[in-house]
Amino acid sequence: FLEANVIGTINLLNASLEANIQKFHHISTDEVYGSLEYEDTDLFKETTPYDPRNPYSASKAASDYFVTSWNNTYGLPYIITNCSNNYGPHQHVEKLIPLVVNNALSDEITYMHGGGRQIRDWLHVHDHCRALVMIDEAQIVNEKYNIGGSCEMRNLDVTKMILNYMKKPYDLIGISHDRPGIDKRYGMDHSKITTDLGWEPNIDFELGIKDTVRWYLNRLT
């Protein structure tokens, strides 16, 4: 994480200065804000103080700060976008949705940290990309936007949706101990980008997850 997210970002920032680019767009994560409690009503805003709670999110938070410091020190124009959990085609099999599909095809158990009770905000990759294009076309610089899916769901419930669609039993869900540093809940307030640019997530999660599962099935079977 240190090499990829911190050193890698610094290398890209320096290369951007040398190439005199017009804007450095840094895609970050909701994890830099820390963890919400299950009962919290306030979601992560762009003004929410950073509170990274594991090595990955700490490295992402550091990279965010390096981007803004390169602007302040060297005048490099930037955009930072913090997105929620992406899903959709082409995702690496280590991620939850393709992992569950792959395991279910072989009738293998997917073991979920703490039973999968953690809540994540799910954002279809096409909605995410549409937001990035809109920001670019608006020629906005030196700003920060949250990009969320307005779709908070437990990992367990997402897994059950996949198994239902594949007509597989729930006994393919196993329970493992919580991963150290795992966060309870992420929830994103995307009202800033909605107000500024009119962007909203358009893809319904139930339809999006079915299309995503079909995409993997067509390539794994």
Q: How far is CA 50 from the centre of its chain?
A: 16
User: If you write DSSP's letter for every residue of 192-204 in order, what string do you get?
Assistant: HHHHHH-----S-
Q: How many CB atoms lie within 10 A of CB 103?
A: 21
At position 72, the amino acid (one-letter code) is N
Query: Is 31 one of the annotated active-site residues of the chain?
Result: yes
Instruction: Spell out the residues 6+ positions from residue 211 whose beta carbon is closer than 8 angstroms to its own.
Output: none
Is there a catalytic annotation at residue 152?
Answer: no
30 in catalytic set = yes
Enter the tokens of residue 170. 């729930």
At 191, list the tokens.
Answer: 């009202």
Check 50, 51, 56, 170 and give the catalytic one: 56
List the catalytic residue out of 3, 18, 31, 216: 31
- Residues forming the active site: 30-31, 56
